[in-house]
Amino acid sequence: MSAVSLKDRLSGFLYLAETRYGPLTYARLNPGESNSGKLVSLVRFWARKTAEETGAQLVLADGPPGIGCPAIASITGVNLALLVAEPTASGLHDLRRALNLVRHFKGVKPFVAVNMWDINPEVSGEILAFCEREGLTVAGKIPFDRVVAEASANRRPVVEFAPESRVSREIGRVWRILEEFLGG
């Protein structure tokens, strides 16, 4: 008789969906479960497989905050990483840590966007100065705008809900910078 036994257990769910924008692969980790890095890797596998099957030229991955296993799994094998910093007490510190993680992976071009940059211009200035010192491309400074909450409440992307808003225009600018880097 063994004192330890291993048993498979369900830790989350993988979903393959079709949206009006194209295929979407995502997962939900059950509360209290571990192996989120493995789940991210599984999502990435199916996203790439779907892209190959559909002829998609681009796979977008929305990675988690932080520098743990899920973030590492999200960055593996990518061409670029958009690091989103917020002008808070921990924002610059978090950006430094995320940048160190990205730089660990060769061939990944880091870009930075400062989200809600205008809520704390002083800290935003520190973030921008850091980016300049580090030679980072700042893809955008996204302003705070209550229309983001309205769009979310209406379950629509802000760029569709309020396409002429300042925030939508800046998100579009960020997209164009990233798209140019990718050759598109």
Structure tokens that stand for 62 in this block? 């929305």
pTM of the model: 0.89
Got the DSSP string for 49-103?
Answer: HHHHHHT-S-----PPSSSSHHHHHHHTT-SEEEEEE-SSTTHHHHHHHHHHHHH
In this predicted model, what pLDDT tens digit does every residue of 105-163 receive, in sequence order?
Answer: 999 999 999 999 999 999 999 999 999 999 999 999 999 999 999 999 999 999 999 99
Quick one: pLDDT at residue 141? 98
Question: In which residue ranges of the chain is CATH 3.40.50.300 found?
Answer: 79-182
Residue 23 clears pLDDT 70, i.e. is over it: yes
Quick one: pLDDT at residue 29? 87
In this predicted model, what pLDDT tens digit does every residue of 44-79 receive, in sequence order?
Answer: 999 999 999 999 989 999 988 889 988 999 999 999
Conformation bin of residue 174: beta by default, left when phi > 0, alpha when psi is -120 to 50: alpha
**Candidate CATH numbers 1.10.3720.10, 3.40.50.300, 3.50.50.60, 2.40.50.1020; the one for domain 79-182:** 3.40.50.300
Quick one: pLDDT at residue 184? 67
Question: Cβ contacts of residue 111 below 8 Å, gap of 6+?
Answer: 80, 81, 82, 83, 136, 137, 138, 139, 177, 178, 181
Q: What is the mean pLDDT of residues 80-98?
A: 96
